[in-house]
Amino acid sequence: MRIGVLAIQGDVREHKNHLVKVGATPVEVRTLQDFSGVDGLIIPGGESTTIGMLMQEEGLIDAIRARVINDSFPVYGTCAGLILLAKDVVGPSPARIGLMDITAGRNAYGRQLASFEAMVPVPSLPGADFPAVFIRAPQIVAMGLGVAALAVYDGQVVMAEEGSLLVSAFHPEMSGDVRIHQYFVDKVRKMLGVPQ
């Protein structure tokens, strides 16, 4: 199973390490050619303005949109990735994929001093609460009826799913816990019809 990690900017290495631990083959995606060979894609944390702009220049936004719409291609966006997948963004909005029926508030918790860690209950995962790291994190300020909330923290939906799209406002790759990466890889496997 080849899972792409969008490698324009951000914490690409940490996502790749987690993918290896759950038995997937990580592939760095910078160009259309890289993208054509992957079964699913993770958009890492980073600066959404920078990542969106450079994705646009590489033609990756259109290519990802087309595969999501036509083939239910699985994409998981963390933090900046959540903003890039959101249909709407409050305030100045970066170039983005914009296919998930959510509205994202950028840096909605505040600047870096408001960044935090917390144990967050994620009912669809086996075992204990998940160690979540929020860094200048976005919030989901509104979501459509077709979107499922997978985790709620402090009254905010911090992880959500709609069809082939998965997002979290926090960074699962910043802790040693690989259960969310396992969840995404299982999702890709299911979409491809590969037995567990």
Partner 1 sequence: MEEKQVGTFNVKAGLAEMLKGGVIMDVTTPEQAVIAERAGAVAVMALERVPADIRAAGGVARMADPRIVKSIEAAVSIPVMAKARIGHFVEAQVLQALDVDYIDESEVLTPADPQYHINKWDFQVPFVCGARDLGEALRRIAEGAAMLRTKGEPGTGNVVEAVRHLRAVNAAVRRLISTPDSELPDLAKELRAPIELVRQVKEMGRLPVVNFSAGGIASPSDAALMMQLGADGIFVGSGIFKSQNPEAMARAIVRATLHFNDPKIIAEVSEGIGDGMPGLEMATLTPADRMQDRGI
Measured CA to CA, the distance from residue 56 to residue 25 in angstroms comes to 25
Give residues in contact with partner 1 (CB under 8 A). Answer: 7-14, 30, 45-47, 49-50, 53-54, 57, 79-80, 91-92, 106-107, 110-120, 129, 133-136, 153-154, 171, 174-175
Q: How far is the CB of 193 from partner 1 (least distance, A)?
A: 35
What's the sign of the alpha-carbon dihedral 91, 7, 13, 180? Answer: positive
95, HSE (Cβ side, Cα atoms, 13 Å): 15
Amino acid at the residue 68: V
How many residues are given for the chain?
196
Taking the least distance from each CB to partner 1, the nearer of 114 and 194 is 114
Q: How far is the CB of 185 from partner 1 (least distance, A)?
A: 22
Dihedrals φ, ψ of 173, to 5°? -80, -10
- Please give the positions annotated as active site: 79, 171, 173
Measured CA to CA, the distance from residue 152 to residue 168 in angstroms comes to 10
Taking the least distance from each CB to partner 1, the nearer of 103 and 175 is 175
Q: How far is the CB of 196 from partner 1 (least distance, A)?
A: 31
Q: How far is the CB of 45 from partner 1 (least distance, A)?
A: 5
Taking the least distance from each CB to partner 1, the nearer of 70 and 112 is 112
Taking the least distance from each CB to partner 1, the nearer of 52 and 74 is 52
Dihedrals φ, ψ of 68, to 5°? -65, -45
